[in-house]
């Protein structure tokens, strides 16, 4: 009788092991696991620029255009509230590995501008960051300009932004708000570095 319970116990353990292992979900493999690297990081680039030039006193001409009305004023890099500017650009960052494979990447040279260009275009028209263009100086390999287009659709509103940064020359944020009801609102916020 003891032998029967001993064999029965082993059989129960074996059956339990088989059933429990077959019920476990197989771990899903990350489709980008074998891909090395990531896309260009706007956040890292901005932080590098900040660390390189913060503390350098630079006067800026701030221009705000809303519809037909334009207003301009002078400010400087020390007193400017950088938070909303950084936030706008950081939201467009596609360097997280979750974005790998979601953009079509093209590289081309522009002999007129003497630049190497890296262009990312979203494969999905609902992606927030739709386009990213980085122009690199062909001789110095420094970034000459960054252009970004974003798209956001919410209930009752569609927002398209065009962001441009030319290092230590221009920051521009164009916002085109298209509500389902009501008037469209087009805004341009620009900072020109006066060096």
Would you say residue 15 has pLDDT above 60? Answer: no
Q: What is the pLDDT of residue 180?
A: 85
pLDDT 10s digits, 84-125 = 999 999 999 999 989 999 999 999 999 999 999 999 999 999
Contact 103, 120 (CB under 8 A): yes
Q: What angle in degrees, to the nearest 10, is found between the helix axes of 42-53 and 83-90?
A: 150
Q: Which residue has the higher pLDDT, 195 or 184?
A: 184
Residue 36 has pLDDT above 80, yes or no: no
Q: How many domains does the chain have?
A: 1
Express the helix, strand and coil content of the chain in percent, nearest 5 each. Answer: 25, 45, 35
88 lies in some domain = yes
Average pLDDT over the chain, rounded to whole?
Answer: 84
DSSP letter assigned to residue 124: S
Residue 18 has pLDDT above 80, yes or no: no
Please state the φ and ψ torsions of residue 148, each to the nearest 5 degrees.
-135, 140
Report the alpha-carbon distance of residue 105 to residue 103 in Å, rounded. Answer: 6
Q: What residues make up the domain containing 107? A: 42-194
What is the per-residue pLDDT across 126-177, written as a single tens digit (0 to 9) for each?
999 999 999 999 999 999 999 999 999 988 899 999 999 999 999 999 999 9
Residue 102 falls inside a structural domain:
yes
Does residue 165 fall inside a structural domain?
yes
> Which pLDDT does position 38 carry in this prediction?
61
Residue 9 belongs to some domain of the structure: no
Flag whether 27 is in a domain: no
* Domain contains 23: no
pLDDT of residue 151: 96
Give percent above pLDDT 70 in the chain. Answer: 81
User: Taking 90 as the threshold, does the pLDDT of residue 54 lie above it?
Assistant: no
Is the pLDDT assigned to residue 26 strictly greater than 70? Answer: no
Lowest mean pLDDT among 7-11, 43-47, 80-84, 165-169: 7-11
Determine, yes or no, domain membership for 109.
yes
pLDDT score, position 37: 53
Residue 33 resides in a domain:
no
Q: Please tell me the distance from the alpha carbon of residue 153 to that of residue 79, in angstroms, as a whole number.
A: 33
């Amino acid at each position: 009788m003891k032998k029967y319970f001993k064999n029965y116990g082993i059989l129960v353990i074996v059956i339990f092991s088989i059933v429990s292992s077959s019920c476990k979900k197989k771990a899903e493999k990350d489709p980008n696991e074998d891909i090395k690297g990531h896309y260009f990081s706007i956040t890292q680039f901005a932080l590098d620029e900040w660390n390189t030039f913060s503390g350098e006193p630079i006067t800026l001409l701030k221009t705000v255009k809303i519809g037909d009305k334009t207003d301009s004023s002078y400010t400087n890099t020390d007193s400017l509230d950088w938070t909303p500017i950084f936030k706008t650009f950081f939201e467009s960052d596609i360097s997280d590995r979750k974005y790998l494979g979601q953009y079509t990447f093209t590289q081309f040279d522009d002999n007129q501008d003497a630049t190497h260009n890296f262009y990312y275009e979203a494969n999905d028209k609902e992606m927030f960051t739709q386009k990213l263009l980085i122009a690199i100086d062909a001789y110095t390999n420094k970034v000459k300009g960054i252009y970004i287009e974003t798209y956001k659709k919410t209930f009752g509103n569609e927002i398209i932004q065009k962001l441009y940064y030319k290092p230590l020359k221009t920051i521009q944020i164009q916002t085109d708000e298209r509500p389902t009801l009501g008037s469209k609102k087009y805004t341009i916020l620009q900072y020109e570095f006066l060096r």
